[in-house]
């Protein structure tokens, strides 16, 4: 069993829709939960991170973490064609810069104009 599971999609939604992306994990030691966006032929870029359980909002993006269920989500409101990319969830046990990131497989998202 992989430590982090993510539905690879692909997922296609019309412009303006709300997008929900999810990951589950098995390692209860994970404390930091990240969402990365990766455009084609580019490296991943950090969208947002959450420490422990709770919600975090940044513009059109909301990240949720439920540690009791070992389940994390990313919601994108008012989706735009520029949001079309692969979204990767990633997790750390602690101490950002020193820890290895454990990634999900990524969900390929297409926003249809």
Nearest to 44 by CA among 104, 112, 113: 104
| Nearest-approach distance from CB 61 to another protein, in angstroms | 16
Which residues in the 88-107 window bind another protein by CB under 8 A?
88, 90, 95-98, 100-106
| Nearest-approach distance from CB 18 to another protein, in angstroms | 24
Compute the distance between CA of residue 24 and CA of residue 54 in angstroms, rounded to an integer. 15
The smaller minimum CB distance to another protein, of residues 62 and 105, is found at: 105
| Nearest-approach distance from CB 59 to another protein, in angstroms | 18
Residue 59's Cβ-side half-sphere holds a number of Cα atoms within 13 Å equal to: 5
Which residues in the 32-91 window bind another protein by CB under 8 A?
36, 41-46, 49, 51, 88, 90
Taking a C-beta distance cutoff of 8 angstroms, is the pair 28, 70 a contact?
yes
């Amino acid at each position: 069993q992989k430590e982090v599971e993510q539905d690879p999609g692909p997922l296609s939604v019309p412009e303006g829709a709300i997008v929900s992306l999810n990951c589950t994990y098995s390692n209860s030691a994970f404390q930091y939960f990240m969402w990365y966006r990766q455009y084609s032929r580019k490296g991943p870029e950090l969208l947002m991170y959450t420490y422990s359980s709770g919600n975090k909002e940044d513009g059109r993006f909301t990240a949720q973490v439920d540690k009791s269920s070992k389940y994390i989500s990313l919601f994108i409101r008012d989706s735009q064609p520029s949001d079309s990319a692969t979204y990767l969830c990633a997790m750390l046990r602690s101490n950002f810069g020193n820890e290895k990131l454990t990634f999900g497989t990524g969900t390929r998202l297409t926003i249809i104009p």
